[in-house]
Amino acid sequence: MYKVIFADDEARFRSYFKCVIDWNAHGFELCGEAKNGLEALKLVEEKLPDIAIVDINMPYMNGMELAAKVKESYPSIFVVLVTGHSEFEYARKAVKIGVDDYILKPFDEEELLIALAKIKSSMEKLQSERDKTQKERLALKESFLNLLISNDDAGDSEMIVDQMNLFEMQRKEGGCFRVISVEIDGLHEELLNPAEVRLRKSTVSSLLGDLIQIAGKHHIFNGPENRIIMLLQYAHEESSSFSEEGFVKLNSMVRKHFGFTVTVGAGRAGSGLASIRQSYKESVIALRNRISMNMNAVLKYEDIVSRSANIGFYPSEMNENLLIHLRLRDEDRIKETLDAIQNYIRNNQLSGDYIHMILAGLVSLCLTYVHEIGKHVNDIFPDHFSPFEEITNQPSLEAAFEWMNGLYMKVMEHSKSVKRSKSNKILTLAREHIDTHYADSQLKVEDISRHFLIQPRYLLKIFKDGLGMSVSDYIVETRMKRAKELLSSGQNLRLSSIAEMVGYSDLGHFSKTFKKHTGLSPSEYEVTR
């Protein structure tokens, strides 16, 4: 609806004007009338109409004077003069000084509708041009802001300074900046259409503008990889402290009212334009470390830095054991080992990058086994299967390992279609025999072969083909695993007792083997647990 006011000193004409057409039916709303120029000017100031239709002859202030004042103060209001034949030339002059149109008295319904149609067309064209200009301006600003966060060379060049002035980012507003990156969780999983993605991003941007208030300015725009970026420009460096409250509320509101969630990555505040790029990189690093931050909705780079110092040490035997359990198709032991890896990561508070490296290794191990059993990845997983992208986008450690368990169990399901050979059955039985008798210091390949009535050479081949290691290596592996459990048990057992319990009658031989296997002496290992 376009808002219309009209002014005429004749009461009879004002009555006629109100009913000459069905205003609402034609897209107009009559929001006021005046009987002289002064009243009309006050009405304009109160109602801010889209159109003012005024008689040229009125007391106190005539239509020409009123039109001049309206156009001076409110140039976007369309002014239409109503005039008699004797004032025709006078009205034409008024058009030259800014009045948008005129209509001759007396007029009927059809004449008024034609005049209003011309006005509506002009207004729509003007609005379209304004919208186009605004869109172009917003697109230019977004492009400039993306330049600031992506270009390491974006310094205090004349072009940069001019652009900052153009987009009201004058340096006098403050030269201290912080970048916040916001990701909508699960976009890659839900396979949303572009319109839905735009709607969610628009919702988040709108809420950000309402919820985040700082001493200074903020600039919200669409950044790379479907992120919403918020550039905070503080009025004073001392006011640049970071508050999570608004961002936590943002996540709560979109979850409650729109059914999705967001994750916020916050870079550090810094001075100068170069700090914008640095802070953006930090905000992205914070987002990439969400997997290590226990599903926090707001991730700060400062917290990530303190955590990343704890690189830890991931024992390779976990992956080696996992491969053995895969080859033996032992689902329970596979799940136990994946749980042990997850607990190890959590207990050692490893950094996000290190966690992703471990997860990538687990994926590679599983896919290697797929090829080992004569299958192709496409036989098991769909064409769009992208495991490394999947682990990168997991929102938490728990979610990552839930996905990893699904990956391994799906491979196990397909491995059942591969017929197990007689050698595989012997391998399983021999492994169980070793797991039971590893404490026997006299346990040898020949003893195991004799137990199963096979040749030692055949047993060696079975272990090499099935586990990728010799029988002796497997015996040592089993003994060392048990030794580490005993050293970590807190029972304060004597080393000589532990050596004997895992099949070594010579303490020196046990210590030498343990250090070769783990890189630490038994005493050093016990202290680090």
Q: What is the pLDDT of residue 292?
A: 67
Strand partners, 219: 231
Q: Name the burial class of residue 332, with classes exposed (0-12), middle (13-18) and buried (19+) by CB atoms within 10 angstroms of its CB.
A: exposed
Tokens 């996000």 belong to which residue? Answer: 352
First to last CA, the chain: 75
Return the number of other C-beta atoms located less than 10 Å from residue 256's C-beta: 8
Structure tokens at 145: 């802001």
Question: Measuring CA to CA, how many Å separate 269 from each of 54, 243, 276, 302, 351?
Answer: 56, 12, 8, 11, 22
Structure tokens at 156: 């205090």
Distance CA 380, CA 47 (A): 68
SS3 263: strand
**Omega prior to 382 cis, within 30 of 0:** no
SS3 content of the chain, % helix, strand, coil (to 5): 60, 10, 25
Distance CA 145, CA 80 (A): 43
Distance CA 391, CA 360 (A): 8
Tokens 């169990």 belong to which residue? Answer: 409
Q: What is the pLDDT of residue 35?
A: 92
DSSP one-letter code for 291: G
Q: What is the pLDDT of residue 310?
A: 52
Return the number of other C-beta atoms located less than 10 Å from residue 463's C-beta: 23
Residues (pLDDT < 50) of the chain are: 173
Distance CA 161, CA 360 (A): 44
Q: Please, where are the H alpha helices in 74-211?
A: 88-96, 109-150, 158-166, 187-190, 194-211
Distance CA 5, CA 172 (A): 43
Structure tokens at 454: 């096979």
Tokens 């050093």 belong to which residue? Answer: 524
Strands 216-222 and 228-234: antiparallel
Of 224, 365, 237, 359, the residue nearest 291 (C-alpha): 359
Q: Name the burial class of residue 129, with classes exposed (0-12), middle (13-18) and buried (19+) by CB atoms within 10 angstroms of its CB.
A: exposed
Give me the sign of the Cα torsion angle 10, 11, 12, 15.
Answer: positive
Q: What is the pLDDT of residue 406?
A: 92
Distance CA 313, CA 345 (A): 10
Q: What is the pLDDT of residue 419?
A: 56
Q: What is the pLDDT of residue 267?
A: 92
